[in-house]
Each structure stands twice: as structure tokens, then as C-alpha cells.
Amino acid sequence: MARGLRLLSRAAARLRPLLVQGPTARGFSASAPEPLHVCVVGSGPAGFYTADRMLKGHEGAQVDIIDRLPTPFGLVRSGVAPDHPETKIVVNQFSRVAANGRCSFFGNVTLGRDVSLSELCKTYHVVVLAYGAESDRSLGIPGEDLKGIHSAREFVWWYNGHPDMRDLSPDLKNTESAVVLGQGNVALDVARILLRCKTELATTDITDYALDALCGSTIRKVYLVGRRGPVQAACTAKELREILGLKNVHVCINEADLVTSPADEEEMRNSRIQRRVYELLSKAASTHKDSNYNDQKELHFVFFRKPTKFIPSENGSTVGAVQLEKTALKADEVTGKQVAVGTGEFEDLKCGLVLKSIGYKSLPVEGLAFDKNRGVVPNLRGRVLSSESETGRVETGLYVVGWLKRGPTGIVATNLHCAEETVASILEDDKKGVLRPPSDSKKHGRTGLLEILEQKNVRFVAFSGWEKIDSKEKMAGQLRNKPREKITTWDELQKVANE
């Protein structure tokens, strides 16, 4: 323990602010109970909302947030589109959470490599997994490994400066057509970035290399392909309205696809969002029907089609087309929902770039139960279960939140309610004495984590290190009339953080 306190002192200059873990430092009496040591794995919205609610709900809680990246905020930084700055304002709230004296950030720390789940559970009373979804679902169809096919996540990370995708280099110069598989908000994001006026993008925080590539792009047609119809399109009205209003973009919709069935009408009666999306698409089809669009880019909404094969171009290694099967809607016998079934009719859609927006996927961690079909950790109101069955044993002190808890759905704010539910479970368990039983050996929390990282020679990035990155990015951005110019390589991020 003495060694841990020496390590804590040594690291204090890098942590802002890190309070020595003695009872008097927090205003507790010598007889006060041990603080509740909480570790949140993942610093995206789910992680920060959890930390915020934990600090507000338990005055004795000390919360440490770890993340594999040197930068905090998760998808707010690497997932939100650069032309949506209003969505990123939430980082101001998260920064106030990080500035709380009972909260610390440990960037550049990877679960499973730098610290194991078992080590965290031995060090903290509470471990909350909030690391989201950093992989992609697969279509599992022939040709999926051809060049020119990327996941939408990879493309989004590329233009947003995620260091893992700095070198993606999608080829935007050798085709005039791109196919986006999916019609959710992420699909609309990538389509919008491909089609948007580049002078408008130039004043956002898009990376310089992505802007250069987009300025040289020859893509003039983007096809948004969905298995079902316009009533079932998975986007929100706000996102749809924005892409339908792009300058110099002609919207193409087959009016026959807009014909609705009684089942469609029932769906729209039960969902205001679905009705609004359908109305916007219908209006766009009518508005753009007779306009002259010879000099405009084109956005095609392709409904009732599912990809069955990727066809190589003449060179054999790059995608040249997507084979699509026409579909029809049929009521599922179990759920009653309308699902797409193939009709046996096929057509080829030529393209040189494919972006698969078919869903993010979370990754399992050693020693943790994982539902591979749903891509989530089995849980009961945030309490991690030992198996996929709801009758599974609750893993004491282990919790989950965000996409890892409920799947990759919702918007940034959805994580607030999700975090509140998980924190309520934590507080309930602590009140019952489950988390800090009298017989339990003392857990060292932050001091213990510092000792583990010191022993493994892990150079973590404290929040003060992120503030150096933040400051340098904003200064570079000012020179280009941008909010920031992102640092996009691992080496440079760590170098600036440790200056």
C-alpha cells in the first residue's frame, strides 16, 4: 500500500485533479466507511453519463474512467458527423464531469492488454463496462473482401480522424457511383458527406486528408439501398430532412415504391416517426420528379432490395457492382412485423465504392458472458449475468451500460436513460451491502490501478494530457477557420499529451 501511495504521488502531475485517497482528503472522518471505488471502461457518452450519475448519486464514490484511446468522448469525437457541431456540445458537460475532484481519466489504457477484467474487479468495488461497439456486422455474401468495400464505421472513423482509420484511404477518384447498404442515420451521414458541398465541409472539424480526398472525388451518384420499403426506413426525420435539402443534389425515388399496404398504414398509425419519414420521402419524390438535374449530383433511394453478391470489376480485385435481389414484405409469424423476403428476381447495380451500414458490433472480453447473436453482454437492468439466460447468476460488482448493454441503437442522449438505470442498480446493490461486505478485503481503487499500470510500464494519458491535445487542435483549427484540426496518429496524440 505504501508503494501504491508513492506511485500515486508520482502520477499526480499527470492526473488533474487527483486527490490522495486518505479519509481526510475527501472530508470524511477517520471512522468513515471506505469510499466506493468505481471504474468505468469506456469514455463515450454511456461512460460519462454513468460517471456523472454515479458522482451525483453517491457522495462517497470515486470514479475512474479508462479508455484505449488517448482522447475521451468516444463516438462524440469519432462518430458524430463533422457537419453536426451542435451534437458535440455535450462534451462541455462531460468535461465538467472529468474536472470533478472525485473523477479521473486514464486514456491509452486497453482492457485485456494493459489491464485485465479480473484485475479491475479485484481493485474496484464496481466495474462498469461502457466500451461500446468497435466492430461491424458481416453480410456473409460472396465478394465481401473485394477492395472498395468498407464498413460505414470505418469510413466515419476515417473522416473523423480516429487513429485506427487514419490510413484507410478509400478510393473516391475512380468511380462516379457509390452504394451505401442501409438506410439508417449512419447511412445518411456517409451519403451526405459524399454529396455535400466541400466549401461547407471546409469549415467543420473534418480531417484535412479527408477533405482533400473528398475535394478530388469523382462520385456523383450515391445509392441508399434498403431491404424494406420507405415506411420501414430506419432513419429519423431530422436526418432525412437534412440530406433531402442538400444543395445541387437531385433526389431520385421510384414512385411505385411509395405505394403502401394496409400493414404499412397500420405501422404508420403506431409510429409518428415512421409516418413523418414516409411523408418526407413522398414529398421529395414529387418535388424532384420534373426538375432538370443534368449538372447536379444524384441521391437514389433504392427500396425493396437486398445484396446477395459483390461482383468484381474487370481487374478482378476491386468491386465493380452489387447484385441485388428484389424483395417483398411478409408478416413474420412470430413477431408479426413485416420482414423482407427474396423474390428470386435479381439486378446488378454498378459502383466502385460500397459502404456497409448494416450495424455496429461489440466485442467480447475474456472472462465475460457474451450474447454473440445480439452483440451484448447478458444483463438484468445493467447487472451483468453469468450466462445468456435471465436466470443466470448476477456477477457481483460488474455492470454494463450503453451499446454493450442494449445493442447499437439510439442517439447520444439515449445513453442518459440507459446510464440512469445501471447506476440505480449500483446504488441499490450498495445500499444492500452487496458491494462492500464487512468481510471483504480492502480494495484500493485508483491507487491499485496506478500500481498495475506502473508495473506494466503503461504510459496512460490523464485528462490534463487530453487538454493539451484539445488546445493544440483548436489552435491549428483557428488558422484554417475550423473549430479544430484533429491530430490523427497514435504517436502524435501521445507526444502532445505528454509534452
State the binding site for FAD: 46, 75, 111, 403
Residue that has been written with the C-alpha cell 435471465 in this structure:
390
C-alpha 203/C-alpha 221 separation (Å) is 24
CA 307 to chain CA centroid, nearest Å? 25
Q: Which residues contact residue 25 at a Cβ distance below 8 angstroms, ignoring those fewer than 6 apart?
A: 19
Q: Are 14 and 464 in contact (CB under 8 A)?
A: yes
Please state the three-class secondary structure of the chain as a single string: CHHHHHHHHHHCCCCCCCCCCCHHHHCCCCCCCCCEEEEEECCCHHHHHHHHHHHHHCCCEEEEEECCCCCCCCHHHHCCCCCCHHHHHHHHHHHHHHCCCCEEEEECCCECCCECHHHHHHHCCEEEECCCCCEECCCCCCCCCCECEEEHHHHHHHHHCCHHHCCCCCCCCCCCEEEEECCCHHHHHHHHHHHCCHHHHCCCCCCHHHHHHHHCCCCCEEEEECCCCHHHCCCCHHHHHHHHCCCCEEEEECHHHHCCCHHHHHHHHHCHHHHHHHHHHHHHHHHHCCCCCCCCEEEEEECCEEEEEEEECCCCCEEEEEEEEEEEEEECCCCCCEEEEEEEEEEEEECCEEEECCCEECCCCCCCCCECCCCECCEECCEEECCCCCCCCEEEEEEECCHHHHCCCCCCCHHHHHHHHHHHHHHHHHHCCCCCCCCCCCCCCHHHHHHHHHHCCCCCECHHHHHHHHHHHHHHHHCCCCCCCCCCCHHHHHHHHCC
Q: Residue positions in the annotated binding site?
A: 46, 75, 111, 183-186, 227-228, 239, 403, 410
Q: Residue positions in the annotated binding site for NADP(+)?
A: 183-186, 227-228, 239, 410
Q: Are 306 and 340 in contact (CB under 8 A)?
A: yes
